[in-house]
Amino acid sequence: MLEIFYHDLRIASHKRLYGPLGQYSTIEEHMPKEHQQYLQWDAKRFLSWAEKIGPNTHIVVQSIIESQKVEQQGYRSCMALLKLSDKYTNEHLEIACTKALSFTNHPSFKTVKMILSSEKDKDKAKTIKETSNKQSKNSPFGFTRGAAYYGRRNNP
């Protein structure tokens, strides 16, 4: 028996595990509330969700799960990764996972998120540039002044 004391008061006890290294035993009530919500989830459920998004998202989720000594420790990262599809769409998430897999065989949630946010920034910059160009070409009050304004003249 393994007993845990705090100020000479026993606050928990667990049956000691014998056998191969890496075993663990957790009493649900001892887990933080935000971790207890993942008890209803398992790797199969995350992998099924990822497969619906795309094959490369599936590979990334599988990699995250397999990278942990204890499978459940990867669930928060898997949930966060798959929830990115709410913000960026399934197609964008699949593209980001594809790009992440081109860099490494074991991408992390942070890598995929960084790819998505950098692509979104590029899209914003492109949209702003396109809007600016349309305004200057189509508007009689555009901001372009032309060569004559700056003193350049077409001399034959």
- Contacting residues for 99 by C-beta, under 8 A, at least 6 apart: 115
15: in domain: no
The candidate with the shortest Cα–Cα distance to 106, out of 55, 65, 51, is: 65
Surface-to-core class of residue 24, CB atoms within 10 Å of its CB (0-12 exposed, 13-18 middle, 19+ buried)? exposed
Q: Considering the domain boundaries, does residue 104 fall inside one? A: yes
Domain that holds residue 68: 45-131
Say if 26 falls within a structural domain.
Answer: no
Return the pLDDT at 148: 63
In a domain, 10, yes or no: no
CA distance linking residue 107 with residue 134, whole number of Å: 39
Within a domain: 147: no
Q: Is 152 within a domain?
A: no
Q: How many domains does the chain have?
A: 1
* pLDDT tens sequence for the chain (156 residues): 888 899 999 988 888 888 888 777 777 777 777 766 666 778 899 999 999 999 999 999 999 999 988 888 888 899 999 999 999 999 999 999 999 999 888 999 999 999 998 876 566 555 555 555 554 555 455 555 666 666 665 555
Report if residue 13 sits inside a domain: no
32 assigned to some structural domain: no
Place of tokens 């998004």: 53
pLDDT at 108: 92
pLDDT computed for residue 2 by the predictor: 83
What is the per-residue pLDDT for 23?
A: 73
**pLDDT given at position 112:** 94
